[in-house]
Amino acid sequence: MDKITIEKLHIYAYHGVHASEKENGQDFYVSAVLFTDLYRAGHSDALEDTVNYSDAAKLIHRVFTAEKYDLIERAANAVAEALLDRYPSLGSATIRVDKPDAPIGLEFDTVSVNITLSRHTAYLGIGSNMGDRQGFIDKALAMLDETPGISVTAKSSIIETEPYGGVEQDPFLNGVVEICTYMSPYALLDRLHEIENACGRVRTIHWGPRTLDLDILLYDDLHMNEKELTIPHPDMKNREFVLKPLAEIAPHLIL
């Protein structure tokens, strides 16, 4: 992918774990590599077809100085998130923060961190079989779309299905949502749990009744199998209430 680079933007800011760093401040140098498609701009010669690097530099400066962080990792992440939120055409952003006057007590050139955030396409299963089923689903969709770093890009029809897993309970409403996100899989999982909890989800019976169920089905082409998270969802192939709405909004997928 094409890229726009801003090298070593000089910013005086107040980041550091020591009180003196937050009180006195120091010099930082922030570099950004913005990955985007520049084909149209290369032919049109129009500013609206690219990322205005002057505006981007001012955004970096504004975000980097808006708060006082202990870690330059946090400052770099805040800048990357702000750039992706501001410029939908960016596929990813790499931010480097140099801290040449870090209080190390040894001779050195600079200390730096690099953070890259990228946009990912994920598919989420959503279901409810307790209380106001449609109300819980609507609330979850709204909370997803209001979450920084998540945009809901497609929603399937909501279908009523019989319960799965052998536990006697009421029918479910189920659907699938496509999102664009720069969250990592675990950060996304944490956010889904927050939304479930906000809708009164209580985990007592495995595959039992629930006010809201949110599952990560797919995350780009990622394959992972860890204790807390498996992607693709391991039981997806056996669930028509997942496959049918997924096929509705993403018929191109080959699982």
Please give the Cα distance from 176 to 154 (Å, whole number): 9
Extract the runs of DSSP E, i.e. beta strands, from 1-119.
3-13, 26-35, 92-99, 111-118
| 176 residue type, one letter | V
Residues belonging to the active site: 99
Residues 6 or more apart whose CB falls under 8 angstroms from that of 114 comprise 76, 94, 95, 96
49 Cα distance to chain centroid = 25
Burial (CB count within 10 angstroms: exposed 0-12, middle 13-18, buried 19+), residue 118: middle
With b meaning 16 or more CB within 10 Å and e meaning fewer, what string describes 35-67? Answer: bbebeebeeeeeeeebbeeeebeebbbebbbee
CB neighbourhood size of 83 (10 A)? 21
Give the C-alpha separation, 125 to 142, whole Å: 15
Cβ atoms within 10 Å of 110's Cβ, excluding its own: 12
